[in-house]
Amino acid sequence: MTLLSTSDFEDLLGRRARQVEELLRTLLDDKPRDGEITRPAKLLAAMRHGVLNGGKRLRPFLVLESAKLFGPDGAEAVTVGAALECVHCYSLIHDDLPAMDDDDLRRGQPTVHRAFDEASAILAGDSLLTLAFDILTDDTSSRPRDVAASARRRLDLVRGLARAAGVGGMAGGQALDLAAEKATPDEAGIITLQAMKTGALIRFACEAGAIVADASAIDRERLAEFGSAIGLAFQLADDLLDVTAVPEVMGKATGKDAAAGKATLVALHGADWARRQLAGLVEQAHDLLEPYGESGRNLKSVATFIAERDR
């Protein structure tokens, strides 16, 4: 199987991103939704700054392409992708805060707490997190005449996202990451930390696509395993870039992990080891997609892209 060229893949990634961004702009407009009283202008502006400021939209891409493995992708997959992106962007807003990673730049622009203030950044993150579950429970994009199946899917999606984002997933991983600045974990601890902080949402993104498509339990688990492999690859590539890339390319500060004494696999084993591990993770991810034949080309391409990206 021939994978997508870099330019073709980036074009596909961009088209998928625009699909999701169109919905996100609608969800973040000025008009209150049913049950809301009003939308404070400054808070809404801070939310938009945190969400609509670029980004690859990798996690929504994974939702859409995973769903497409099992049939035509549609509005429901885009909706789930938008909800997941709200959670991801909330985590970035909070991670950038002085109490966390204390970053001034995100995607080449001032972080939310710099563009506004810390209180607005905290509230913007809180609001995006709750908006995500609002989006997931909205059944307007569900397939017609499928009420019971739609309710089951939404329940699985809400539960899956809550667990991927919460104490046993992303938020717990961030807590472990902060603790690692004071007591360096061993290799197993680093892998657990990264599987939670970064990998959990990526794993969920891949399984979510299978949930939207009503795929079998076996397919859901296979896609989740694929997500775990590329989630670890994503963090490994990110840690490698922190050592090798320059801020102008990354759109944010680099070298911060080493300066903070953060525990990473790159710091533990070196850049050459990390590159070998990345190659192995890509091979593992590709192998998991073999049962889907040509249909898995786009997901195989994203695994390669994650490992080889330069920003």
Domains of the chain in start order, with CATH, are 6-308 (1.10.600.10)
**What pLDDT score was predicted for residue 184?**
87
**What pLDDT score was predicted for residue 82?**
97
**What pLDDT score was predicted for residue 250?**
47
Cα torsion angle, 12, 18, 21, 22, sign: negative
Give 105's strand partners: 110
Tell me the helices (H) and strands (E) count for the chain, helix number first. 16, 2
pLDDT tens, position by position, for the chain (311 residues)? 789 999 999 999 999 999 999 999 999 999 999 999 999 999 999 999 999 998 999 999 999 999 999 987 688 999 999 999 999 999 999 999 999 999 999 988 999 999 999 999 999 999 999 999 999 998 665 555 567 778 899 999 999 999 999 999 999 999 999 999 888 899 999 999 999 999 999 999 999 999 999 999 999 999 999 999 999 999 999 999 988 855 655 455 555 665 566 778 998 999 999 999 999 999 999 999 999 999 999 999 999 999 998 77
For the beta carbon of residue 140, count every other beta carbon within 10 angstroms. Answer: 7
**How far is residue 66's CA from residue 68's CA, in Å, rounded to a whole number?**
5
Q: Which long-range contacts (CB under 8 A, 24 or more apart) does 264-271 make?
A: 264/190, 264/239, 265/187, 265/190, 265/191, 265/194, 265/236, 265/239, 266/236, 266/239, 266/240, 266/242, 267/239, 268/187, 268/190, 271/240, 271/243, 271/244
**What pLDDT score was predicted for residue 310?**
77
